[in-house]
Amino acid sequence: MKKLCLLPFLFFALTSTAQRLITPSDIYKMRSISDPQVSPDGKWVAYVLSAPDSVKDKSDSDIWMISWDGKESVKLTASKEGESKPRWTPDGKYLTFLSSRYETKKSQIWRMDRRGGEAEKLTDLKYSISDYVWSPDSKKIALVIKDQESKEEEEKKDKKAKPIMIDRYHFKQDGAGYLERKRNHLYVFDVETKKLDTLTTGDFDEANPIWSPDSKKIAFVSNRTADPDRNGNSDLWSMEAKKGSPLKQLTTWSDADNSPAWSPDGKWIAYLKSQTPEYDIYDQPQIAIIPAEGGASKILNAKLDRDVSAPRWSADSKSVMVTVEDDRRSHVTSFDLEGKMKAITSGDRVFNSLQHGVGDTWVTLSSDPMTPNEIYVIENGTARRLTHIHDEFLKSLTLATVEAFDSKSKDGTRVGNFLFWPAGKPKDQKLPLILWIHGGPTSQDDFSFDLTPQILAAQGYAVATVNYRGSNGRGLAYSKAISGDWGNKEVMDIIGATDHLIKIGKADPNKLGIGGWSYGGILTDYVTATDPRFRAAASGAGSAMQLSMYGTDQYTIQYETELGVPWKNMDKWMKVSYPFLNVEKIKAPTLYMVGEEDFNVPAAGSEQMYQALKTLGVPTQFVVYPGQNHGLAVPSYQKDRMTRYLDWFNKYMHSDKLNEKLPPKR
């Protein structure tokens, strides 16, 4: 009997360690790590660990902590509602976090004694807290709270939804929905007395509060122009952390100043300052410092033409740390107050979410092409991996190899790309090629783990990702090259990368596919309307008749900045709408997908293209994910999307009849 009972166990033990190819079902096994925070004594790092729950079909987030040496790991929370924003009290006594756990309908601050025991609810407000920051003396907390409905309005809303009255220029936002005049304001909470004082009011939003080292003042970011919706301005402001205190404007730049950080010696505030004097999504912010009492600002990275992250001060207030995006990489870099730059990390990988530790130590997240984000610590100028949350999952998989390559577009532009090559496939074999195009457009494919190309490659496809013009990592001019001229240089770069892989014998020219989400979906339509070689396409959350997007999505400022208003600049609008206006040139069977409540790129963009291809008899499908915004949050929908990608490409990439048409229905 004992032998019979052991046989199934032995079989599982043997097969569970066998390597296999990654599949869409592995989405349920993918965990993500975020928001690392070092304890004041430097002995522990708290972080958020999120994992899909297949039963509840949602992602659950819990707070964990790991010792600085990596030897001990402790799960601190386990409620079904989830927790976020772990923050240590500066005196080191408590760890706090945000949660609406245990029937608490509003997100509140919970406090956990480091010595153990259950967390207690520190705040018990009628409103949800969206962000909070402890004062350095641990006596007060700065809160960010959005304006709330009155009790009477809430009661009426419970009975019947009231009409939404809109009178704003910027009137809709993905995730937030239609925008009324409910603003985010600052409050200060006294931990001992539980008293809540209002710091800011008015028809403005405040964000990014930071405390002065002496716990007397708060600096924050706000756009207080006459009509904040009509520009990209934001300035740094400061005030004493007392009700009724006057506000002092620290910066006056006409565009964006944000992400402030107060120096430990109290003398300076570092922040990110945009370069162009108008709203511009391609703008590349610079690191600036300004005297804490106001005055002239100074740019620290004036000689570095690259994207940088939110600044963090060194313990001695003599340098500012950031991560720098540079041609498919992202590394921790320091700048002294004279602008001298020093690279701290190196190699083919990316670092992000930099936080200061104790003394000269730092904590950050890092990823490489074969490993999703893990926590790293930086000490003595060296990065050391701290967590290993993905090890067991990765041990079971055989992943595609990832190789960087450069291509040259027909106008001579060098473009940096990646090629995912299926495991076990000979390097000298021509494979069916899928171009997987990133969104943004201001982001970049980099030396980090990328799930979608890995799953596509596991089906035997070579997969290429392309950092077309408009992407980050190559400087401001490279990003701005597509301003007001969408679907031109980006398409040239994507086709150039395709031709390069065909020329060097990696790609089968008769089996080409393309897809992407958001701007990647938009570019999919641009490419298939330009190049008839593609057998199959998957356009997610995209648009092609750009004229129809004006007033229906959240990008009115961008449209008017780049193209002008449609009624005065129709030629420009028609030019960038060419995929729809030339839809008869599209021969590739195309799968369209969108979130039902996407206000970023609304469903109309996909609906129009689906209807046009259906009319023309080109094979097409349209998939709508109920209740979803621009990004799909439901795990089963994420798996479904990936499965549909594979089914679509598998069906049409290998079809004997290239671009087979169906007769239009009458």
Dump pLDDT digits (tens) for 512-544: 999 999 999 999 999 999 999 999 999 999 999
- Residue 114: predicted pLDDT: 78
Q: Of all helices (H) and strands (E), which one includes residue 338?
A: none
Domain-embedded: residue 358: yes
Looking at the fold, whether 447 and 378 belong to one and the same domain comes out as no
Q: What is the pLDDT of residues 31-59, one digit of tens each?
A: 999 999 999 999 999 999 999 999 999 99
In 150-256 the beta strands, taken as DSSP E runs, fall at 172-173, 177-178, 184-190, 196-198, 206-211, 217-222, 235-240, 248-249
Looking at the fold, whether 472 and 609 belong to one and the same domain comes out as yes
Looking at the fold, whether 413 and 504 belong to one and the same domain comes out as yes
List 411's β-bridge partners, or say none.
none
Looking at the fold, whether 523 and 436 belong to one and the same domain comes out as yes
Domain-embedded: residue 570: yes
What is the rounded end-to-end Cα distance, in angstroms, of the chain? 68
Residue 14 to residue 428: CA distance in whole angstroms: 33
Q: What is the CA radius of gyration of the chain?
A: 26
Query: Which of these, 114, 61, 64, lies nearest to 89 by C-alpha position?
Result: 114
Collapsed DSSP state (helix, strand, coil) of residue 358: coil
- Provide the CATH number for the domain around residue 631: 3.40.50.1820
Collapsed DSSP state (helix, strand, coil) of residue 212: coil
Which distant-in-sequence residues (6+ apart) come within 8 Å of 245 by Cβ? Answer: 199, 239
Retrieve residue 647's tokens.
């089914």
Residue that is last in its domain, among 356, 388, 420 = 388
Residue 554 to residue 130: CA distance in whole angstroms: 22
Q: Can you give the residue range of the structural domain that contains 483?
A: 398-652
Residue 9 has pLDDT above 50, yes or no: no
* Alpha carbon of residue 359 to chain centroid: 30
pTM of the model: 0.92
- Residue 59: predicted pLDDT: 94
Looking at the fold, whether 475 and 383 belong to one and the same domain comes out as no
Give helix 519-528 / helix 604-616 axis angle, nearest 10°: 20
Residue 470 to residue 413: CA distance in whole angstroms: 13
Looking at the fold, whether 549 and 648 belong to one and the same domain comes out as yes
Domain-embedded: residue 409: yes
Q: What share of the chain is helix, strand, coil (3-state, %, to 5)?
A: 20, 35, 45
Q: Own/partner pairs for 106-113, CB < 8 Å, 24+ apart?
A: 109/141, 110/83, 112/76
- Residue 658: predicted pLDDT: 41
Looking at the fold, whether 520 and 622 belong to one and the same domain comes out as yes
Residue 616 to residue 169: CA distance in whole angstroms: 38
Domain-embedded: residue 521: yes
Q: How many domains does the chain have?
A: 2
- Residue 22: predicted pLDDT: 97
Query: Which of these, 191, 281, 206, lies nearest to 247 by C-alpha position?
Result: 206
What is the overall mean pLDDT for the chain? 93
- Residue 18: predicted pLDDT: 65
Tell me which of 100-114, 247-261, 401-415, 531-545 is least confident.
Answer: 100-114
Residue that is last in its domain, among 346, 363, 388 = 388
Sign of the dihedral defined by the CA atoms of residues 251, 254, 260, 264, in that order: negative
Residue 191 to residue 140: CA distance in whole angstroms: 6
Domain-embedded: residue 353: yes
Residue that is last in its domain, among 354, 388, 422 = 388
Q: What is the pLDDT of residues 638-654, one digit of tens each?
A: 999 999 999 999 999 98
- Residue 115: predicted pLDDT: 72
Q: What is the pLDDT of residues 384-425, one digit of tens each?
A: 999 999 999 999 999 999 999 999 999 999 999 999 999 999
Compute CA distances 524 → 557, 611, 657, whole Å. 24, 17, 21
Looking at the fold, whether 465 and 572 belong to one and the same domain comes out as yes
How much is the average pLDDT of 157-164? 74
Collapsed DSSP state (helix, strand, coil) of residue 374: strand
Q: What are phi and psi of 625, to 5 degrees?
A: -100, 110
Looking at the fold, whether 588 and 462 belong to one and the same domain comes out as yes
620 in Cβ contact with 664 (< 8 Å): no
400 in Cβ contact with 453 (< 8 Å): yes
Retrieve residue 284's tokens.
């590349």
Domain-embedded: residue 646: yes
Tell me which of 144-158, 221-235, 326-340, 522-536 is least confident.
Answer: 144-158
Residue 390 to residue 385: CA distance in whole angstroms: 12
Looking at the fold, whether 422 and 568 belong to one and the same domain comes out as yes
Q: What is the pLDDT of residues 10-28, one digit of tens each?
A: 333 333 456 899 999 999 9
Peptide bond into 441 cis (omega under 30): yes
Retrieve residue 584's tokens.
């008869």
How much is the average pLDDT of 153-169? 74
Tell me which residue has tokens 């079989």: 11
How much is the average pLDDT of 593-612? 97
Residue 4 has pLDDT above 60, yes or no: no
- Residue 154: predicted pLDDT: 54
Domain-embedded: residue 3: no
Looking at the fold, whether 384 and 409 belong to one and the same domain comes out as no
Domain-embedded: residue 616: yes
Total number of residues shown for the chain: 666
- Residue 148: predicted pLDDT: 78
Residue 503 has pLDDT above 70, yes or no: yes
Looking at the fold, whether 320 and 462 belong to one and the same domain comes out as no
